[in-house]
């Protein structure tokens, strides 16, 4: 079962590595990170790079396609070559998914038109541009398109994709394998629960 | 504020990237992944590599040291050169931390002697070998040594280290920035709650 995770310059590392780790240890899962070009991909912090296992040119089809987010995808929203690749791979997937602002790339590829979807909380207002209805949930499924909230929600996205491709028992085992029994230390992980001044500071940082 | 995350061949990517992402976007945080040698480090799946920002030789001191886990650290448990580096950096840290089986490396370096500590649930029974008392919690603090449970607990470790180094408001903002408002899809992320047959299957996979 082939799962392709698209990576690109200035992506957010955890957006890609969260679902990767949830899926990569499942027997029968072949999870590959693919980048538009060969070589290391520098993430949004500028001081960590991920090395893809292949390029988009190597992958014509996959059982699942996962598109992470990160500030680097803004310049890709009109990259017809990459959007065309996403559309072609999507045609034959069982699941096409995004984490965080990866949803904007799915949107730009036309895959969110008429669908319920989510993204990082600070970017939910971008979704209607792509014909999508924003939903404030961790993981939103509409047909075979599954979108996840910001950054850390990629772990839940990965486990959801795991259940779809490998069955619920495999996904439960994956959840245990990565000991995903979270206890957030501060309880401020959503804009609905964080203090207003922290929400505004983070929104400013995110949207500039 | 310099935070060094040790990476090595066959580490678990999320163990390193979870705390990395929790810390790297905080103003004033300089988070660097350091490896024993230059070049890309291949993770435990064999098909994803991380590129470190430096080598252990470059880093003589740090405000925080974080040691992730992964099957690759078993061969390092008697690597006197690496253990000596951990000990020397630890002397001047404000926090020395581990994620998952990274605790075994801290133990081998003598840093868990007489302390309460945690690790991946399937390895808790290894901790007494290093003089530590195993504790089944997500993040365990004893003096300046902070240990986290398996894989995904590294996010919580990162947020805990963030609070220590940058204050609680910065950590709350980081928790919101990565939208860490988790809703595990299956509720099987701890051995206490997963079905017994899944616990045994995952334990077998982990411990072989």
For A127-163, the pLDDT digits (tens) are 999 999 999 999 999 999 999 999 999 999 999 999 9
Residues 66-95 of A with CB under 8 A from B: none
Give every CB contact of residue A130 below 8 A, 6+ residues apart in sequence. A104, A106, A107, A108, A110, A112, A113
Residues of B in contact with A164 (CB under 8 A): none
> Residue A186 and residue B198: Cβ atoms within 8 Å?
no
Q: Does B131 touch chain A (CB under 8 A)?
A: no
Q: How far apart are CA B152 and CA B156, in angstroms?
A: 8
Question: For A164-187, what is the mean pLDDT?
Answer: 98
State how far residue B129 is from chain A, nearest Cα, in angstroms: 22
Residue of B nearest to A11 (CA): B21
Count Cα neighbours of A7 within 13 Å in the Cβ-side half-sphere: 31
**pLDDT tier for residue B39 given thresholds of 50, 70 and 90:** confident
Q: Report the relative pairing of strands A95-98 and A145-148 from DSSP bridges.
A: parallel
Q: How far apart are CA A58 and CA B97, in angstroms?
A: 39
**Is position A82 within any domain?**
yes
Residue A71 has pLDDT above 90, yes or no: yes
Residue B203 has pLDDT above 80, yes or no: yes
**Is position B201 within any domain?**
no
**Is position A205 within any domain?**
no
> Residue A181 and residue B199: Cβ atoms within 8 Å?
no
Query: Which positions of B are annotated as active-site residues?
Result: 100
> Residue A152 and residue B155: Cβ atoms within 8 Å?
yes
Of B178, B191, B195, the CB nearest to A151: B178
> Residue A179 and residue B153: Cβ atoms within 8 Å?
yes
> Residue B181 and residue A198: Cβ atoms within 8 Å?
no
Count Cα neighbours of A187 within 13 Å in the Cβ-side half-sphere: 1
**Is position A86 within any domain?**
yes
What pLDDT score does A39 carry? 87
> Residue A33 and residue B48: Cβ atoms within 8 Å?
yes
> Residue B186 and residue A159: Cβ atoms within 8 Å?
yes
Structure tokens at B57: 């030789």
Q: Does A35 touch chain B (CB under 8 A)?
A: no
**Is position B189 within any domain?**
no
Express each pLDDT in B150-201 by its tens digit: 999 999 999 999 999 999 999 999 999 999 999 999 999 999 999 999 999 9
Residue of B nearest to A12 (CA): B21
Query: Which positions of A are annotated as active-site residues?
Result: 100
Question: For A121-131, what is the mean pLDDT?
Answer: 97
Express each pLDDT in B51-94 by its tens digit: 999 999 999 999 999 999 999 999 999 999 999 999 999 999 99
**pLDDT tier for residue A102 given thresholds of 50, 70 and 90:** very high
Residue B3 has pLDDT above 80, yes or no: yes
What pLDDT score does A208 carry? 74
Of A150, A177, A195, the CB nearest to B179: A150
**Is position A121 within any domain?**
yes
Looking up residue A21, the CATH number of its domain turns out to be: 3.40.50.880
**Is position A197 within any domain?**
no
What pLDDT score does B208 carry? 74
Q: Does B17 touch chain A (CB under 8 A)?
A: yes
For residue A196, count CB atoms less than 10 angstroms from its CB and return exposed for 0-12, middle for 13-18, buried for 19 or more: exposed
**Residues spanned by the domain of B57:** 2-182
Q: Does A54 touch chain B (CB under 8 A)?
A: no
**Is position B162 within any domain?**
yes
Q: How far apart are CA A127 and CA A112, in angstroms?
A: 8
> Residue A25 and residue B45: Cβ atoms within 8 Å?
yes
SS3 state at B128: helix
Q: How far apart are CA B62 and CA A191, in angstroms?
A: 33
Express each pLDDT in B15-31 by its tens digit: 999 999 999 999 999 99
Taking CA atoms, A122 is separated from A126, A127, A138, A208, B183, in Å, by 9, 11, 14, 11, 19
Query: Best mutation site among A15, A29, A152, A200 for testing chain B: the one with the most B CBs within 10 Å?
Result: A152
What pLDDT score does B207 carry? 86
What pLDDT score does B45 carry? 93
Residue of A nearest to B119 (CA): A179
Of A49, A168, A179, the CB nearest to B189: A179
Q: How far apart are CA B83 and CA A62, in angstroms?
A: 42
Residue B32 has pLDDT above 90, yes or no: yes
Question: For A71-93, what is the mean pLDDT?
Answer: 97
Question: For A62-76, what is the mean pLDDT?
Answer: 97
A2: left (phi over 0), alpha (psi -120 to 50) or beta: beta
Given the structure tokens 């559309």, which residue do they identify? A87
Lowest mean pLDDT among A101-105, B35-39, B109-113: B35-39
Instruction: Say how many domains are in chain B.
Output: 1
């Amino acid at each position: 079962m082939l799962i392709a995770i698209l990576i690109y310059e200035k992506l957010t590392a955890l957006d890609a590595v969260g679902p990767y780790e949830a899926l990569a240890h499942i027997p029968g899962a072949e999870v590959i990170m693919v980048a538009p070009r060969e070589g290391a991909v520098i993430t949004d912090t500028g001081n960590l790079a991920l090395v893809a296992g292949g390029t988009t040119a190597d992958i014509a089809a996959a059982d699942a396609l996962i598109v992470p987010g990160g500030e680097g995808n803004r310049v890709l929203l009109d990259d017809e070559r990459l959007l065309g690749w996403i559309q072609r791979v999507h045609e034959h997937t069982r699941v096409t998914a995004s984490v965080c602002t990866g949803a904007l790339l799915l949107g730009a590829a036309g895959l969110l038109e008429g669908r319920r979807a989510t993204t990082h909380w600070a970017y939910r207002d971008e979704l209607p541009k792509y014909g999508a209805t924003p939903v404030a949930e961790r993981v939103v499924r509409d047909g075979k398109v599954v979108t996840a909230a910001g950054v850390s929600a990629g772990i839940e996205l990965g486990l959801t994709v795991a259940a779809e491709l490998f069955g619920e028992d495999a996904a439960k085992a994956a959840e245990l394998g990565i000991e995903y029994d979270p206890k957030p230390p501060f309880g401020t992980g959503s804009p609905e629960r964080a203090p207003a001044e922290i929400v505004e500071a983070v929104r400013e940082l995110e949207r500039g």
